[in-house]
Structure 1
């Protein structure tokens, strides 16, 4: 049976769970969020991604109720959230530090919010057991936070946040304190838990790999604005700007001038260098400044000039980044332009084809690069 794709943002009938409508947030003269309008849907895993100071944490604090918009409204399930205090919202927040109570056991930490709400004992016990099972912490229930690992503490914080069954869970850099391997494992755990509970997750992170792994959609932010909000695949393959292309993953940006030819454009980028060609639906003026965004895995590297490709340039290997399963070659063209090319390391080190200072040919197909307006 074909699985239906989860894309409520493409369904005109779908009602958003969260709506930002012309939201601006100022702190004195500083504009942290600049007139933003966007939607987040139920069951989404939505990532706010961007460098420090881009406004992603302010966005999250407004959702939690710790900050109020200077202008505009934030709706949750169609209701204006401004008059609702943080503790009365169907929203919970998991902090970077986890903020667990050191003197309480794992069980008591998870039960804390339910007890405060005056829930009956049997309801609390059933819900805590359910959360322990969900986060695979049953055998640690009686331990104190200092008696368990960082990854387990993170799961306790998650279980505590989900215990009250919030409509929305906010996660502020939730994996910042974990080492790389544990972080990767935890990302998949998080996705699994989000899917099982059906809770809408909004995660703030500056780690692009994390955002691309866990999220249904990623909102790339800069200076208080969402520059592009889309699926991880579209953000990577079809960035809408040089900023997004440059922010996500490795990329070479080649500036040039576009001239219409066939079903795309010829790009003149340097004197004495061959004209490049890009097939695209983008509409550019003749002679307009443009940028080719080229991912290293889409660039082939060879000793001989390939006969069958329009886009071929020659250069010298300046640097090699060896990443185990693949190597990234930094190749400098005669005009100084650097282009990155990636090749899988299918052979042992001693059998490799290319080394530093070698002259090589780089080539790519007409559809490999994304042509962006200047």
Structure 2
């Protein structure tokens, strides 16, 4: 039995949970969000990704009700939420600082919002017990925040945010305070919790690895606009611009001019005294049009011997080697001074390198390895 793919954004019958319609947000003369339209669906884990100041936190704060929209509308479950105060929205927000009450136990921190809603004691007990179990904190219920680890405090904040069963949970850089190893472990916990509860999560992050790990879709932002929205593999393998290609992962960008070489195939004139690159592209390019070829380092092979296939084979010299345990990245300097990064998987334990600094090497890639971009 095949498992149905979760992709409500591809179903024209599916109604979005959140709708940004031509939303602009200004702070004085500064435009933080610029005429933005975007749908987010129920049960999505949606990531807003971009550098500081790109508008991702402003989008989130407008959803939470902490900022007013200057122009346009935001709908939640079909309702315009402009005049709904933050405490009456079916939305909860988890901050980077976690904002736990230091004098209250883990149990009381999680119960806090439920008590304010004047729920009966047995209802509160049941709900808090569910949250403690969900976040694997049962043993720590009586401890104060300072008596538990950073990762556990993060889970308390998550449990408290989910206790009121919001339709939507907003996470603002939720893992920023954790060290790398714990952050990676917690990413998978977040995904499991999101899947278990079925709550829609919108996460703000500037960490592209985090966005690619947790999200069903990633929105890459810049200067108040969404540049591209796609699944993580879509963003990585088929970026729509040099900005997105460069922002997500490691990439080589080769600038040149395009010339037709057959159906959906182009020559790219690029380096001085270099044979043209051959690249497949379903995007049309006109004769002599400026273009950029984006190729991921892992799609480039590196050898000492000249490859039998001469297409897209270039000779250079090893300038630098970054050894990352599972991978090695070779920085190869071409005759015109351009640097190409090629990556190999270290599948075997080697006592010495086959390729080392200052070696003359060949780098090569296939016609389908790169993505040809206009800008």
1:77 — aligned with what?
Answer: 77
Cα deviation for residue 316 of structure 1 reads: 0.7
1:136 aligns with 2:159: no
In the alignment, structure 1 segments of 5+ residues that lack a partner are: none
Cα deviation for residue 53 of structure 1 reads: 0.5
| C-alpha separation in 2, matches of 1:369 and 1:214 | 25
2:329 — aligned with what?
Answer: 328
TM-score w.r.t. length of structure 1: 0.99
Cα deviation for residue 303 of structure 1 reads: 0.6
1:307 aligns with 2:308: yes
Mapping 1:80-229, distance limit 5 Å? 80-229=80-229
| C-alpha separation in 1, matches of 2:337 and 2:193 | 49
Partner SS state of residue 351, structure 1: coil
- Verify the 8 A CA contact 1:298 1:341 in the aligned structure 2: yes
| C-alpha separation in 2, matches of 1:22 and 1:68 | 14
| C-alpha separation in 2, matches of 1:158 and 1:268 | 53
2:317 — aligned with what?
Answer: 316
- Verify the 8 A CA contact 1:317 1:329 in the aligned structure 2: yes
| C-alpha separation in 2, matches of 1:146 and 1:321 | 39
1:280 — aligned with what?
Answer: 281
Cα deviation for residue 350 of structure 1 reads: 3.0
1:367 aligns with 2:368: yes
- Superposition misfits of 4+ residues, deviation over 4 angstroms: none
Cα deviation for residue 71 of structure 1 reads: 0.3
| C-alpha separation in 1, matches of 2:16 and 2:347 | 47
| C-alpha separation in 2, matches of 1:176 and 1:218 | 18
Partner SS state of residue 340, structure 1: strand
2:255 — aligned with what?
Answer: 255
Cα deviation for residue 309 of structure 1 reads: 4.5
1:3 — aligned with what?
Answer: 3
In the alignment, structure 2 segments of 5+ residues that lack a partner are: none
2:56 — aligned with what?
Answer: 56
| C-alpha separation in 1, matches of 2:310 and 2:344 | 18
| C-alpha separation in 2, matches of 1:162 and 1:177 | 20
1:239 — aligned with what?
Answer: 239
1:343 — aligned with what?
Answer: 344
Cα deviation for residue 171 of structure 1 reads: 0.2
- Verify the 8 A CA contact 1:43 1:200 in the aligned structure 2: yes
Aligned alpha-carbon RMSD (Å): 0.7
| C-alpha separation in 1, matches of 2:247 and 2:268 | 23
Partner SS state of residue 306, structure 1: coil
- Verify the 8 A CA contact 1:317 1:356 in the aligned structure 2: yes
TM-score w.r.t. length of structure 2: 0.99
| C-alpha separation in 2, matches of 1:212 and 1:29 | 34
Cα deviation for residue 346 of structure 1 reads: 2.8
- Verify the 8 A CA contact 1:55 1:224 in the aligned structure 2: yes
Partner SS state of residue 350, structure 1: coil
